[in-house]
A = this chain, B = another copy of it.
């Protein structure tokens, strides 16, 4: 999915500004689903407006800078539906955390412990916020993905908690053997 399609998708949930679209991908309902940066969002919105797939209107605000709010047009909704019918690209994961863990025997055990504990805390925090969300009145797709996220993050958190000590012991042992 390119940045324009991601913006169309975000706008299909309701009118939003570039800043709000970024927030949706960064910490909102679309986080952990796809990525969209300011460097991609603003040019995409400009191009979508030029193509007539969205319309933008200036909105004055008090105590905050004015913002430009975008809305999907009929053409934009059609373009989104077409994009959703295209075969999805395979998922792509870029995890420095997993990469470091994978090479964990090259990292001091205390540092590994710190990373794992940080990740456990991050999962706890995510899960708390997700469990605090009531999506029962939302569209079924959003509810489904929310539940899937809960299941996956719970499994990951539980695995880290259950195997944390084993990994640290194994890394310490591995270091000991290598030192011999």
Chain A residues within CB distance 8 Å of chain B: 1, 6, 9, 12, 29-30, 32-35, 80-81, 84-85, 88-89, 91-107, 111, 115, 139-145, 147-148, 151-152, 154-156, 158-160, 163, 166-167, 170-171, 173-174
In the assembled complex, the Cα of A158 lies from the Cα of B104 at a distance in Å of 29
Q: Looking at the complex, which one of B89, B107, B173 makes contact with A84 (CB distance below 8 Å)? A: B107
A-B contact pairs, 25 of them (CB 8 A): A1-B99, A9-B99, A9-B103, A12-B106, A29-B102, A34-B93, A34-B95, A35-B92, A35-B94, A85-B111, A88-B97, A92-B93, A93-B93, A93-B94, A102-B141, A102-B142, A103-B139, A104-B144, A105-B141, A140-B170, A140-B171, A147-B163, A151-B158, A152-B155, A152-B159
- Copy tally for this chain in the complex stands at 2
Give the distance in Å from the alpha carbon of A136 to the alpha carbon of B149 in the complex.
Answer: 29
Chain B residues near A35 (CB, 8 Å)? 92-94
Please indicate the chain B residues that have their CB under 8 angstroms from the CB of A145 in the complex. 98, 101-102
Contact B94 A34 (CB under 8 A): yes
- Minimum CB distance partner of A8 in chain B: B103
A27 to B174, CA, bound (A): 26
- Asked whether A139 lies within 8 Å of B93 as measured between CB atoms, the reply is no
